[in-house]
Structure 1
Amino acid sequence: MRAATSATSRTRRRGGVPAPVSALVVGLLAGLVLAGCSGLPESGPVVDGGARSTVDEEQASDINAVPPTPGMTPSAVVNGFLDSLYASPIRLDVAKQYLTPAAATAWDPEDGTITYLDRQQPRETQLSVSVQLVDAEHLDRYGGYDDNLAGGDLRFDLELEDGEYRIDNPPDALVVPRGWFTQRFRTASLYFFDPSGRILVPQPVYVPRGKELPATLVRRLVESTGRSSLTGLVQSYFPPGLDGQVQVSIADGVADIDLGGEATEISKAASERLLAQLAWTLRQQSGVRAIQVTLGGAAVLAPDGDERYDVSEADRYGPNGPAPSTDLFAVRDHRLQRRDGNELKAVPGVFGNGDVPISTATPNIDGARAAAVAVGRRDLLVADLVRPADSDEPDGEPPAKPDVVLTGTSLLTPAWDFADRVWVVDRTKAGAVVHLVVDGRDRVVEVAGVSGLDVRSFLVSRDGTRFVAVVRGANRDELRVGRVEADGVGDVVRVRSTRVIDVDPGTSLRIDDIAWTSPTTLAVLSPLGPDRIYGVRQIGVDGSPSSAESLPTPVVGPVIGLAGSPITTLPLYVVTKDNLVDLTDGGSYGFVGSPATSVDYAG
């Protein structure tokens, strides 16, 4: 990896991409775009002995790159260069012919990817040509979405070489149309651990489709170890010093992975987590059931001492928790109830028996406890739904009284993370205050872009690394996501500055509710107009516009909200006064008896 100082100095010397772009646009295609390559090269041989997903078997059409011809104008040279970048299979030797010799040597297209919906005709000023990209976005060198390209304007400086115009400052990125990109790349995740090493955290990326997918995923995972931008957010158990020259082969459902490197002694705990990272990352390749890993020529052993590690052994570290509840819960008649077929039945304990009337409640991830907001929305209460093993309560009953852990002004529905931390937002007259309750002790967490503003709803990822909030504005609502930083024992340090996710750019968007649909995707419920018709959009938690899609079933309001879970096998529901509308199949389901005032999954 090139040092940041040398990259910056080279960018300043050559000009080209505006400074904010060159700082943010770093490469997606490391190892894939060497000069003169005739296709998507691989980090190592991949022999796929099992089934591949349909999406990975799709073959994009070939596109030929056209070299420059004599007498081209500066604008024609720039257009020719940009056209040559989306040759398929990828080859960059032709693109280099549009550059000066010095620029061709220094150009690093592995250092970034810019995608765009359309590009305007070049604007030419003497030996400078500007090109406006429409709806441009950029990805980092590991395939992760960075941000929209501010302004979308690329500037090219040209020089005369043997009487022909050539570009002197190409952007260090592969610049390609969005349609070209989506045909050839797909979303995936690299899996890291939280800072305490207790739960896996997915990092969304875009990777090439096809047989090179496993090697690309492993290489990206190895190369991401030690990234400064991830410090305090996640950790990796790969030893430092690996160069990413991995070898991957797959046969009979077993992925054989050679990480290279030198002989390194790592602890049993680190070995298990390294294997878990690889297992969750590679299980995205259909048909992979087990992995065998070699590091420095020696096998990385599973906890049982076997060289083969079944990917299901890593389930205990999964991003949804080791034993997540799949139950649907509701508050009806100020009591917490659990769905049983088309009925709602009271949960055991104080929240179900009506002794303490509640407005809303959320069970923790395994469904053993719940955090509830009392009627009046001032008190946050916590109580067990099942009797703990060391409880003194008779006959298996949960405690008769809940713990009052926080008194506020107007509390929103609380959220839990995997460490049994309770998050809640208090909507005070001075704006939102974010509270974090750990072992019954409350603290205020400052969240830039959220604290002090009008927050309508919020979520926390189960792995505890992402905080999501809907902030109401005068003309439109903002969906904001911030990363949660923690120390090595898992204590929350801070929430980093939030960024806005453009759910529907250019509209006066209102957001009535949000819900998880996977560990890395969100559903957003919005009114489609004044006639009480609602629609649901799904978008990646990284905010990439390429990840956005509309779910097919419009719903007639009024609606209460969404009921969604990061467990992808569970349905996503729009909750109305009388029904649950399943957005998977369009079916509508009601409950026997009086209507519920809130419905949701655990967490």
Structure 2
Amino acid sequence: MPDSGEIRAVKASPRTDSQVRVEAVPPRKGATPLQVVEGFLEAMTSDDADFATAREYLAPEVSDKWQPEAGTTVLAEAPETGQAREGGSSNPGMDFPLHGRKIAQVDSQLAYEAFTPADYSRTIHLSQRKSQDGSDALEWRIDQLPPGLVLGASDFQRNYRPVNKYYFAVGRNTVVADPVFIRQRLDPSTLMDPVTQSVRSLLDGPTAELAPVVESSFPRGTRLKDGVALTFDDRNTLEVPLNEKANGVSRAQCDKMAAQILFTLKDLSSSRVDQVELQRANGGMLCAFSSGQEEAYAPDHLWPRAGNQYIVDGGGRLAVLPRDGQGVPSPVLGPLGREQQSTGQIAVARDEKTAAVVSADGRELRVAPIFSARTQIPPPLVRSKGAGPEQRLSAPSWDGLGDLWVADRDPGHGGLLRFAGGTGEPRPVRIVPEPDGARIESVRLSADGVRIALLLERDGRTTLQIGRVERTGPGDDPEVRVTALRPAAPQMETVTAVSWAGPSRLVVVGKEAGEVQQMRYIQTDGSTSAASVLPGLNNVEAVAASDDERLPLVAHSDGEGIVRLPSGANWQKVVSEGSSPVYPG
């Protein structure tokens, strides 16, 4: 804690208890321009369904046109008002500057995008209008304002909640999570309760970030039937009445539509869904789909869910950690489990039949069976010509389609490489646009196969970037490229390690400016919460997480060795010697 320096007052939006409903206060008669501005800013943080009270602070013609749903600007703290000044002769009235530090933006599709904190400056203009009560009194009202909403981070977290809506990867029966933010704690009579909002957002289609790589099973134009709020009956069945656009779908298509809804509602912890019934516009049933059936479309439905944790042990062998964290790691039966290995980084295939290993010097990548005791280690798939380990091969990663990925960091001959099925010749993967001057430090593919997490090093700083994996051409030999890289942890000055920890979540090890190393969960859109910070662990060099949240995190700490973090517990030491902890993938 600091023990010197001046004391400064900080205007922060209050951290309100999650169960508290904030009621907006309308403007009082004779309110000053400052009182109108502050009342309006406070009303934007309220739970009004249509921001009715906030609109009372606006001039009538502005109130009719104001669209709070157009987007939300998220500031680190509540917006501050600057010194008022009189408007010019062409625009008489009062101008109030708004200041803050912008950290994120939510667009009209409810998609969140995090930014490196930057100065935010806008202006609210007020003029005097005749009172709406019929008198001749003049009242100050806002007639120019920034678009959408402007909220401090804590008000945003109180009023909005993250939800994953689900679509299918293009050409595959595998769902992909598309994170958005919806308002919470709204009266169901407004037809905008969390369940109804989530389903409506699902029907609106995927966000721009994922639209090129996913598709919806719902026919274009499908919407909820007018005037309907979704509710559960006493059987925990959700009836979803759709408009006429969905009337002619087949049973197979209807099942996929219902699966999208079931996956989406799983993120609403307060909502238990045992069955979804999709209905035609006339009330007839399209199909009934029970909870659990949707798992046939899960990203990992093709792979076993053994939950094994692997490391490179002190002898350089591929070994399996004991499930309960007690005892010693067991070397695998295959050639990678024998003595005198020169193993650096590893990645175990999602079917747990083979593993990819990069040699300790980073020069060679090999793939070998895990449990075939008679097999010899095959020749390398690729050799790097980089001058040193930091300019050779990164740790490998397997995607959800069974392809193997690795980055060759050789400045002259390197790039991102993919091996179809984990064999054959390396196939270069273009990154569009190319990250000029940046070196790929780490590669991690998602289970759904449509997203990639890259650690990029530039000028001594390593950042986390998330991109789309786009596949075009024939299914057996597609052209693959990575597009639309965007920062996922802009608040961190440098990132040390990353692992996928769910359909749209990563566990990230890094440091903010002037802070110590920390480990926390971060969504692919860059959003976080105070609860996402994990118990402290020093000098973490690698971390591994499973898509199954019930399984423990595993990490390698310089000084501690291999440690694990079971749910609800603290870090537990497993073994003193070892490195490269991984789950399959």
Tell me which interval the TM-score lies in, with the shorter structure as reference length: 0.7 to 0.9
Secondary structure at the counterpart of residue 525 of structure 1: strand
Check whether the contact 1:330–1:600 (CA below 8 A) recurs between aligned residues: yes
Aligned pair 1:536/2:511, yes or no? no
Q: Distance in 1 between the 2:39 and 2:420 partners?
A: 59
Query: CA offset at residue 142 of structure 1?
Result: 3.5
Q: 1:200-279 to 2 correspondence within 5 Å?
A: 200-210=175-185, 212-224=193-205, 229-245=209-225, 247-251=229-233, 252-262=235-245, 264-279=247-262
Equivalent pairs counted in the alignment come to: 523
Deviations along 1:529-568, whole A, 9 cap, x unmatched? 999x75312221211254783212x2244x4421222221
Q: Distance in 2 between the 1:177 and 1:528 partners?
A: 20
Q: Corresponding residue for 2:168?
A: 193
Deviations along 1:40-92, whole A, 9 cap, x unmatched? xxxxxxxxxxxxxxxxx95223323222533633x443333222222334452
Check whether the contact 2:446–2:452 (CA below 8 A) recurs between aligned residues: yes
Q: Distance in 1 between the 2:413 and 2:112 partners?
A: 31
User: TM (normalized to structure 1)?
Assistant: 0.78
Distance 1:82 1:157, change over 3 A: same
* Superposed CA RMSD: 3.2
Further displaced range: 400-409 or 285-294? 400-409
* 1:171 counterpart letter in structure 2: P
Query: CA offset at residue 357 of structure 1?
Result: 4.4
Q: Corresponding residue for 1:66?
A: 26
Q: Corresponding residue for 1:86?
A: 45
Q: 1:308-387 to 2 correspondence within 5 Å?
A: 308-322=288-302, 323-332=304-313, 333-341=315-323, 342-353=327-338, 357-385=342-370
Residue in structure 2 matching 1:402, options 363, 373, 378: 378
Secondary structure at the counterpart of residue 518 of structure 1: coil
Distance 1:299 1:278, change over 3 A: farther
Q: Distance in 2 between the 1:145 and 1:529 partners?
A: 23
Deviations along 1:334-391, whole A, 9 cap, x unmatched? 32222235232232333234597432221111212222223432222223335xxxxx
Check whether the contact 1:123–1:131 (CA below 8 A) recurs between aligned residues: no
Distance 1:106 1:369, change over 3 A: same
Residue in structure 2 matching 1:478, options 458, 463, 468: 463
Deviations along 1:210-260, whole A, 9 cap, x unmatched? 4722211111100125x5553322111111112344542212222221223
Secondary structure at the counterpart of residue 250 of structure 1: coil
Query: CA offset at residue 435 of structure 1?
Result: 1.2
* 2:494 counterpart letter in structure 1: R
Aligned pair 1:288/2:273, yes or no? yes
Q: Distance in 1 between the 2:419 and 2:353 partners?
A: 17
Q: Which runs of 5+ in 2 are unaligned?
A: 1-16, 88-92, 131-137, 387-391
Q: Distance in 1 between the 2:301 and 2:437 partners?
A: 32
Deviations along 1:454-492, whole A, 9 cap, x unmatched? 333231211122221222344643222222223486645
* 1:368 counterpart letter in structure 2: K
Secondary structure at the counterpart of residue 182 of structure 2: strand
Query: CA offset at residue 293 of structure 1?
Result: 1.4
Q: Distance in 1 between the 2:483 and 2:448 partners?
A: 16
Distance 1:222 1:403, change over 3 A: farther
Check whether the contact 1:380–1:404 (CA below 8 A) recurs between aligned residues: yes
Secondary structure at the counterpart of residue 214 of structure 2: coil
Q: Distance in 2 between the 1:193 and 1:220 partners?
A: 15
Secondary structure at the counterpart of residue 230 of structure 2: strand
Distance 1:534 1:262, change over 3 A: closer
Query: CA offset at residue 136 of structure 1?
Result: 4.6
Q: Distance in 2 between the 1:548 and 1:449 partners?
A: 35
Percent sequence identity over aligned pairs: 24
Q: Corresponding residue for 2:453?
A: 468
Q: Which runs of 5+ in 1 are unaligned?
A: 1-56, 302-306, 387-395
User: TM (normalized to structure 2)?
Assistant: 0.80
Q: Distance in 1 between the 2:280 and 2:307 partners?
A: 38
Q: Corresponding residue for 2:507?
A: 523
Q: Corresponding residue for 1:119?
A: 79
Secondary structure at the counterpart of residue 464 of structure 1: coil
Distance 1:101 1:534, change over 3 A: closer
Check whether the contact 2:489–2:522 (CA below 8 A) recurs between aligned residues: no
Secondary structure at the counterpart of residue 362 of structure 2: coil
Aligned pair 1:98/2:57, yes or no? yes
